[in-house]
Structure 1
Amino acid sequence: MTSHTFTEERLRNFTRNVFLKMGCPPADADLATDVLLSSDLRGIDSHGVARLSGYIRLWEKQRINATPNVRVVHETPTTATVDGDGGLGLVVAPFAMKVAIEKAAIYGTGWVAVKNSNHFGIAGYHALMAVEKDMIGISMTNASPLVAPTYANERLLGTNPMCYAFPAGKYPPVVVDMATAAAANGKLEIAQRANLPIPEGWAQDKNGKTSTDPNELKAGGSLLPLGSDKDHGSHKGYGLSATVDILTAVLSGANYGPWVPPFVAFLEPPSDPVGEGIGHFFGAMRVDGFRPTADFKQHLDNWIERFKSAKTVDPTKKVIIPGEPEYAFEQERRVSGIPLVEPVLLDLNELADKLGIERLGN
């Protein structure tokens, strides 16, 4: 598929202008832009600027508050609940992680649950905020119900990603950032744009039969949990997804399970909500609360080196450290630019015309 490459600065200016047109204060527009661009830089194209139109459509439906009063509504010395006031998750989530980090700086750990928020971008962005302070970062969110639990033929859970990030010494952080579904919905969207089939085990049709059609969700099908089916461990993915849903929403007062509002504007939220908005959960743990930071980093470096030197089945392959491919993408794209496939560029240019801002290109 044809793609067009843009500098980080060009995409950053464009994205910021979109959020300003939405009515976001300049500081919020800058922050939301940084979260989205981090996704594109790290090679997670499904969660970057390709999502801009989705945020605008939700804002037009008055389902995103561009000027939220994000605030702590309940707390103890080490925990807090944040009300996002319907704001962009791209703004609400960093606020909440900052609260967790501030509590951890004083007490060793900080834990924050969030309600009344929206899609927060990639989980890795928020977890890495803690790594910058020599802390272990934890970030997770629930999401629109697209996933059928093991044995079910009903959408009850989101892709519900979770991320754990660890500071290393001479190596990049170890970042375990993953959906608890067999694949994130964004992966299906990428396959749709490229007109390619999806791997078997990612989705099932409306009758519960496995499918390789990337448009299956639009036809009433559902995504499958991590593990695909019971014979391949889907109960484990289902369990992880359930854990995310409980920590992010049942704990915070957000909507959970099938009551989570959809990210797409053409679908209305459930008429019988059990909470407020989408939920997130964040944790920050000071490494020196367990052992000297230098010791931890030295041993994590040793861990990385040992795993990278592992014998492999295929001598042309090597063990990949979690977060390593994304770090490599970021180093390369900061220099050579960020590619956008033709359908995404067309969508963004249509958005520019609609908002009255400069197009990215023809």
Structure 2
Amino acid sequence: MSGERIRFDPEELRSFTSRAFSHFGIPEQDASLAADVLAYSDEHGIDSHGVARLKTYVDLLEAGRINPRPKLKIVREKHAVATVDGDNGLGLVVGPKCMEMAIEKARLHGQGSVSVCHTNHYGAAGYYPLMAVRQDLIGMSMTNTSKGVAPFNGIEKMLGTNPLAMGFPTGDEPTVLMDFASSTVAYGKVEIAWRAGENVPLGWCLDEHGRPTTEPERMMQGGALLPLGSTKGGSGHKGYCIGGIVDIMTAVLSGANWGPFAIPFAIDSPQSEKQVGKGIGHFFGAWDVEGFRDLAAFKSDLDAWIQTMRTTRHLPGGPEVQIPGDPEWAAYRIRMKEGIPLQVAVVRDLERIAAVLGIPAP
């Protein structure tokens, strides 16, 4: 395998993805919404969560493991909070609809929180806070995922990579967006290295015997990712705590499967015989800044915060200090002009999808 990449027109990829979802009876509007979530990742440099994931969604839809026409149901509600049953729908559709519900509650009550069960992989966590930011709200999203991370001091997979994302509206400066996994790295980045035939940095993974490894396949075949911070010296217990917070807020709170019982995303992954809930879980939050202080004043102060952080003295010979979200905005400017760079292995997957579904390849 090699790290060679082929560039594609962003709109071509969006159109192809939408047609692929529509093939399975997903309504056109929902198919476009799902394609938008994946396109966000590819267009903003998050290669692990874009069309590289399309094959798995297609496999699950073909196997009847995802409901193409879910009927979302509010199973419990109290003023600004609610729990939604996603009816095993595509997470790329269930997620945006539930985030919109949180936004509506924030407009009504000043804040809104929605927990979701009976759903599946929802793409990049950062997509959802931006829905709120576009309406001048603070946004948050998190999700639990199938087991892949060892708890602090453990050597077996018990938690998912369990990402958390928050976005904040600004004035003249770019949106502040924090989007990170609670593990040392997202599982998708290990997959990217594996496809390219490359090793990963020491400290990311354990092998099947609990020993540190740089070989992606050793982690993927019985090993585990480490929590954010890796070891005791790197404060790995803090990453474990973040992962635990996400697991409890998304799954224990909503009634989804938590910890090692979360439904695997990959169709060929072994299924847990025990289920402690329904599907996997998400959590969405939105806050109306006007409930705290004047919106314009908040944006002005956040702009000043950004400018102050940017002017921090940086390490000699190193890059300048960035603001969370800067890498995504920089990638977007480049990729919308030069195209989306896809690994050859991903391109081959898209070609196979096109052949099987009978739709034109991008």
Same fold (TM > 0.5): yes
Greater Cα shift, 2-11 or 243-252: 2-11
Counterpart amino acid of residue 307 in structure 2: E
TM-score (norm 2): 0.98
In structure 2, distance between residues paired with 1:8 and 1:317: 29
Matched, 1:119 2:121: yes
Match of 2:152 among 140, 150, 153: 150
Counterpart amino acid of residue 235 in structure 1: H
- For the residue of structure 2 that corresponds to 1:81, the secondary structure is strand
In structure 1, distance between residues paired with 2:307 and 2:317: 17
Match of 1:12 among 11, 14, 19: 14
- For the residue of structure 1 that corresponds to 2:118, the secondary structure is strand
Deviations 1:36-58 (A, max 9, x none): 00000000011000100001111
Match of 2:299 among 294, 297, 300: 297
Counterpart amino acid of residue 103 in structure 2: I
Counterpart amino acid of residue 115 in structure 2: A
Match of 2:204 in 1: 202
In structure 2, distance between residues paired with 1:268 and 1:182: 24
Q: Is the 8 A contact 1:200 1:210 kept in 2?
A: yes
Q: How much identity, in percent, do the aligned residues show?
A: 49
Q: Is the 8 A contact 1:115 1:279 kept in 2?
A: yes
Match of 2:195 in 1: 193
Q: Is the 8 A contact 1:261 1:268 kept in 2?
A: no
- For the residue of structure 2 that corresponds to 1:232, the secondary structure is coil
Matched, 1:271 2:276: no
Match of 2:51 in 1: 49
Q: CA deviation at 1:267?
A: 2.2
Match of 2:165 in 1: 163
Counterpart amino acid of residue 73 in structure 2: R
In structure 1, distance between residues paired with 2:186 and 2:24: 27
Q: CA deviation at 1:71?
A: 2.3
Q: Is the 8 A contact 2:148 2:224 kept in 1?
A: yes
In structure 1, distance between residues paired with 2:352 and 2:14: 17
- For the residue of structure 2 that corresponds to 1:5, the secondary structure is strand
Counterpart amino acid of residue 327 in structure 1: W
Matched, 1:358 2:356: no
Q: Is the 8 A contact 1:115 1:249 kept in 2?
A: yes
Q: CA deviation at 1:316?
A: 4.4
Deviations 1:261-300 (A, max 9, x none): 1111012432220000010001000111111000000000
In structure 1, distance between residues paired with 2:317 and 2:52: 36
Question: What is the Cα-based RMSD across aligned positions, in Å?
Answer: 0.9
Which runs of structure 2 are paired with 1:94-105 in the superposition (5 Å)? Answer: 94-105=96-107
Q: Is the 8 A contact 2:213 2:219 kept in 1?
A: no
Q: Is the 8 A contact 1:136 1:165 kept in 2?
A: yes
In structure 2, distance between residues paired with 1:206 and 1:325: 33
Which runs of structure 2 are paired with 1:160-309 in the superposition (5 Å)? Answer: 160-309=162-311
Q: Is the 8 A contact 2:116 2:250 kept in 1?
A: yes
In structure 1, distance between residues paired with 2:264 and 2:232: 27
In structure 2, distance between residues paired with 1:187 and 1:342: 16
Match of 2:331 in 1: 329
- For the residue of structure 2 that corresponds to 1:189, the secondary structure is helix
Match of 1:91 in 2: 93
Q: Is the 8 A contact 1:260 1:269 kept in 2?
A: no
Deviations 1:214-255 (A, max 9, x none): 112332100000001122111000000000000000000000
In structure 1, distance between residues paired with 2:63 and 2:360: 24
- For the residue of structure 1 that corresponds to 2:285, the secondary structure is strand
Counterpart amino acid of residue 333 in structure 1: R
Q: Is the 8 A contact 1:64 1:88 kept in 2?
A: yes
- For the residue of structure 1 that corresponds to 2:140, the secondary structure is strand
Match of 1:62 in 2: 64
In structure 2, distance between residues paired with 1:36 and 1:219: 27
Greater Cα shift, 32-41 or 55-64: 55-64
Q: Is the 8 A contact 1:198 1:213 kept in 2?
A: yes
In structure 2, distance between residues paired with 1:322 and 1:189: 24
Match of 1:343 among 342, 345, 349: 345
Match of 2:138 among 136, 149, 156: 136
- For the residue of structure 1 that corresponds to 2:327, the secondary structure is helix
Q: Is the 8 A contact 1:117 1:279 kept in 2?
A: yes
Match of 1:30 in 2: 32
Q: CA deviation at 1:193?
A: 1.2
In structure 1, distance between residues paired with 2:228 and 2:160: 12
In structure 2, distance between residues paired with 1:151 and 1:136: 35
Q: CA deviation at 1:154?
A: 1.4
TM-score (norm 1): 0.98
- For the residue of structure 1 that corresponds to 2:126, the secondary structure is helix
